[in-house]
Amino acid sequence: MIGRVRLLLAAIAFLKRHALLGVGRTLRSYKTLIPVAVEYKHGLDTGTNATAMEAMHARNAPRVLAMIHNLKGLYTKVGQVLSVRTDELPAAYVAELSTLQDALPPRPFRGVRAQVRRTLGRAARNLTLADGPPLGVASIGQVHRARFGGRDVCVKVQDERCRRQFKSDMAGCRVFCQLFSPGYLAMLDEIRRQFDTEFDYRHEAANLDEIRANLEARGERRVVVPKSVPALVTRTVLGMEFLRGPTLLSYAKRRVAAIERLPFFLRAVPYAFLRLELGRYYRVLVEVHGAQLLLDGCFNGDPHPGNILKSPDGTLGLIDYGQVKRIDDVMRRRLCLLMLALADDDDDAVVDAFVATGFRTRDMNRTVIAKYAHLWFNRDDRRSTDGMEPMKYYDELNLADPTVAVPEQLILASRMTWLLRCFGQAIGVRDVRLAREFRATALAALRTPVMLALGPAPP
């Protein structure tokens, strides 16, 4: 309980410090955050009981959410990242924050249509945007259904103000990091680079096409990636094939709600079925993303539950390729070797493999390096983190032996594995060991001609 509140305080502190550095919007966020933080601090100091704490969460969650809605941009991202940590956050916040996954208040339709006409020019003549609320609204854009030359498509339209705001937010964040937590700088810079490209939808269209082609080449039919529509692609507009289905997250929630309406002695069986079904989807996601990372070296770094659609035919629609990362063959081979060592719990080999990727700490303490590696790519359940919340554990490792160099190419890979682990935990998979699930794919990758040209494969 207290651990969860601590994490929340840390998140609020992050938002607060960050808000301090923005201009203009500062006051608005301060008005929300200060009273919330004060209330929690007081609660912690006076040892308020669990019931009273829950009431505090229920009261504050909508306030924090309203603030995030107001500020958009980076705050939405922080909110999204936090909302998948269902194991860490108080339930009231999860409920409120998870609405960020796909339900921000939309921009008025007329403005969106005008922007689409302006940027698409002639091609817009054949495009009919469906009037009414968007399919989805996210941090920097919103998605509308449309018809184009007889096809069902959807167009993602970027809110151009977000881009300017984001740039100044990130700059502020960096100054803060430099002063107070340089350990996070590399990570922040990598995230910023990724977001920079995320603001140009032409990159995203290219990503869609590449990931789609890779899946097709492997004959993968359990997941679908939307086709881009080249005539409808500009920096701020992205037209693509429309995929059916709710997000996997809202599907799961709806099923749970339906089961909860049954008398409690009838719930066990449908719950077991739901867990089986979600477990099947989890394995598909793990396999598909493992192959993207280790076989293709081109992967989606942001597979959060709001980006996974469950279509009626049982396939999964994987959308949102704003944060795709490519890693080169040399680094990919090192990562495969690291995954094998992690999967086999061979910590000596883990340390050698991780150091080979360019990872360095101040003292090069092998015990600590092995722990970093497991946390980055393999496991973060309580047994693996000495009972600590993972971010806290990461901070502890940084205190024991701070990182001085991290392989930039692997930061988003770590985030991707972390999101998959969160998903596993959220559906009740105990003690997720992701490297073990990636093992066969890592071996297969090491035995491809490209990899064999770089070095021998393990037996």
Ligand X SMILES: *[C@@H]1O[C@H](CO)[C@@H](O)[C@H](O)[C@H]1NC(C)=O
Ligand Y SMILES: Nc1ncnc2c1ncn2[C@@H]1O[C@H](COP(=O)(O)OP(=O)(O)OP(=O)(O)O)[C@@H](O)[C@H]1O
Q: Enumerate binding residues for ligand Y (CB under 6 A).
A: 102, 135-136, 138-141, 143, 154, 156, 226, 240, 242-243, 247, 306-307, 319-320, 322
Chain residues in the site for ligand X (CB under 6 A): 49, 51-52, 122-123, 125-126, 149, 231, 363, 365, 367-368, 400
Binding at 242: pick from ligand X, ligand Y, none (beta carbon under 5-8 Å per type): ligand Y
- Please list, in sequence order, all residues whose beta carbon lies within 8 angstroms of the beta carbon of residue 439, skipping any fewer than 6 positions away: 339, 340, 343
Radius of gyration of the chain (CA): 22
- C-beta of 290 vs 306, nearer to ligand Y: 306
- Give min distance, CB of 403 to ligand X, in A: 14
- C-beta of 246 vs 270, nearer to ligand Y: 246
- C-beta of 3 vs 149, nearer to ligand X: 149
C-alpha distances in angstroms, 362 versus 47, 218, 349? 38, 42, 20
DSSP one-letter string for 54-79: HHHHHHHHHHHHHHHHHH-THHHHHH
Residue 457 per-residue DSSP state:
P
- Give min distance, CB of 317 to ligand Y, in A: 6
* Residue 299 backbone dihedrals phi, psi, to 5 degrees: -140, 160
Distance in angstroms (rounded) separating the CA atoms of residues 399 and 72 = 33
- Give min distance, CB of 261 to ligand Y, in A: 25
- Give min distance, CB of 392 to ligand X, in A: 15
As a three-state string, the secondary structure of 275-288 is HHHHHHHHHHHHHH
- C-beta of 334 vs 374, nearer to ligand X: 374
CA geometry: angle at 172 spanning 167 and 175, to 5°?
130
Binding at 306: pick from ligand X, ligand Y, none (beta carbon under 5-8 Å per type): ligand Y
DSSP 3-state of 134: coil
- Give min distance, CB of 55 to ligand X, in A: 9
Binding at 240: pick from ligand X, ligand Y, none (beta carbon under 5-8 Å per type): ligand Y
Q: Give the length of the chain.
A: 459
Binding at 64: pick from ligand X, ligand Y, none (beta carbon under 5-8 Å per type): none
Binding at 373: pick from ligand X, ligand Y, none (beta carbon under 5-8 Å per type): none
**Which among 242, 254, 252, 300 is positioned nearest to 279, based on CA atoms?**
252
- C-beta of 19 vs 84, nearer to ligand Y: 84
- C-beta of 317 vs 407, nearer to ligand Y: 317
- Give min distance, CB of 37 to ligand X, in A: 20
Which two three-digit tokens encode residue 69?
A: 């809605």
Binding at 125: pick from ligand Y, ligand X, none (beta carbon under 5-8 Å per type): ligand X
**Which among 415, 147, 437 is positioned nearest to 291, based on CA atoms?**
437
- C-beta of 120 vs 295, nearer to ligand X: 120
Binding at 159: pick from ligand Y, ligand X, none (beta carbon under 5-8 Å per type): none
Binding at 368: pick from ligand Y, ligand X, none (beta carbon under 5-8 Å per type): ligand X
C-alpha distances in angstroms, 397 versus 239, 340, 371, 394, 433? 44, 23, 8, 5, 20
Sign of torsion, CA 327 329 334 336?
Answer: positive
* Residue 303 backbone dihedrals phi, psi, to 5 degrees: -80, 65
- C-beta of 1 vs 452, nearer to ligand X: 1
- Give min distance, CB of 47 to ligand X, in A: 10
**Residue sitting closest to ligand Y (CB):** 136
- Give min distance, CB of 149 to ligand X, in A: 5
